[in-house]
Amino acid sequence: MDVAHCYLDGNADAVEFCPHHSFNHLLAASTYTLQEGVQPSRSGSISLFSVDANVGSLDMLHRVETAGIFDIKWSPIKIGAGPLLAQADADGYLRLHGLEHSLDGPEARGHVLKEVGGENVSSSMCLCLDWNASASSISLGISDGSISVVTLGEAQLQKQQAWQAHEFEVWATSFDIYQPQLLYSGSDDCKFCCWDLRENPSKLVFQNSSIHKMGVCCIANSSRDCNTLLTGSYDEYLRVWDLRSISKPLNENAICLGGGVWRIKQHPSVSDLILAACMHNGFAIVKVRGESAELVETYVKHDSLAYGADWQCGGSCDGSGRRIWSSTVATCSFYDRLLRIWLPETQMAT
């Protein structure tokens, strides 16, 4: 199962494979390190790697030193010359990094990240972010319980709206990929909400405060079914929601994964497979069909909080013409600063 591993320069909290063709081998990994003292500081970094599971290689191409990072995500489509990597950080900033080819110096062998834009969104910390499907807007969850939506203009980032959405930290914001005017949010106040962005400030569509027993950490649409939504919570459950009656939440089913479900990632091509980072209980692969969820595999070779997880895009055909999708996974854990590349045992042929 294990392909390669390395230790980062700080506490590792997010990993993201680039989803774009010809950049699928690129992996970004971010860190957040609290420097305690009379005046505490929060430092961080983004490390850019080239990954080739076929030969077991994990090569670092570039590192950017920055503020402590809580979340990173690649743009879903190319913007200009290529993809952008967005960063939500402890200084209250949204920052955008573009890919450039390095032509000289010690990094001449590949790509580097260059900051191409930034916006001071809040005096509080930016905890999470999400791109809408057209990569024209980014939502951010803030530590003071608010949400901001920032638009990408030709020349600059601009805050479009902000509103007080929750009582405590907002750990998850997620655009609906089928109805981009809708935004979901989850918070330490145990509330799961949906907002209509066509009004300013956004209008509350629904709010559920009775199902999640602890904070809501992550939210994701199903690419298989526009009526299915997934949430993960500190209460250790991955939940499958039916949104066909969106005005009054919601029929739901759940599977206990243990440890606290911090992050969920749907396989880019095999839509019923979900990768989950389960904090105190390692990583899990779950098969979701309809409103049911089944645990099919676990990975417990990290010795600290399981925070970052992602699938690599890409695939090939075997001799019978079946499409074999890439099953390469990147995971990271916090205090031991460990990044691992591994191959699940779960079959992913279609």
Complete domains list, the chain, with CATH: 2-342 (2.130.10.10)
For the CA atoms of the chain, what is the radius of gyration?
19
3-state per-residue secondary structure call for the chain: CEEEEEECCCCEEEEEECCCCCCCCEEEEEEEEEECCCCCEEEEEEEEEEEECCCCEEEEEEEEEEECEEEEEECCCCECCECEEEEEECCCEEEEEEEEECCCHHHCCCEEEEEEEEEECCCCCEEEEEECCCCCEEEEEECCCEEEEEEECCCCEEEEEEEECCCCCEEEEEECCCCCCEEEEEECCCCEEEEECCCCCCEEEEEECCCCCCCEEEEEECCCCCCEEEEEECCCEEEEEECCCCCCCCEEEEEECCCCCCEEEECCCCCCEEEEECECCCEEEEEEECCEEEEEEEECCCCCCEEEEEECCCEEECCCCCEEECCCEEEEECCCCEEEEECCCCCCEC
Q: In what order do the strands lie in the sheet with 237-242?
A: 216-221, 228-233, 237-242, 251-256
Residue 317 burial (C-beta neighbours within 10 Å; 0-12, 13-18, 19+): exposed
Query: Does the predicted model carry a pTM greater than 0.85?
Result: yes
CA distance 86 to 2: 29
Can you give the pLDDT of all 350 residues of the chain as single tens digits?
A: 899 999 999 999 999 999 998 899 999 999 999 988 888 899 999 999 999 999 999 999 999 999 999 999 999 998 877 899 999 999 999 999 999 987 665 544 579 999 999 999 999 999 999 999 999 999 999 999 999 999 998 758 999 999 999 999 999 999 999 999 999 999 999 999 999 999 999 999 999 999 999 999 999 999 889 999 999 999 999 999 988 876 565 677 899 999 999 999 999 999 899 999 999 999 999 999 877 899 999 999 999 999 999 999 876 555 565 555 668 999 999 999 999 999 999 766 55
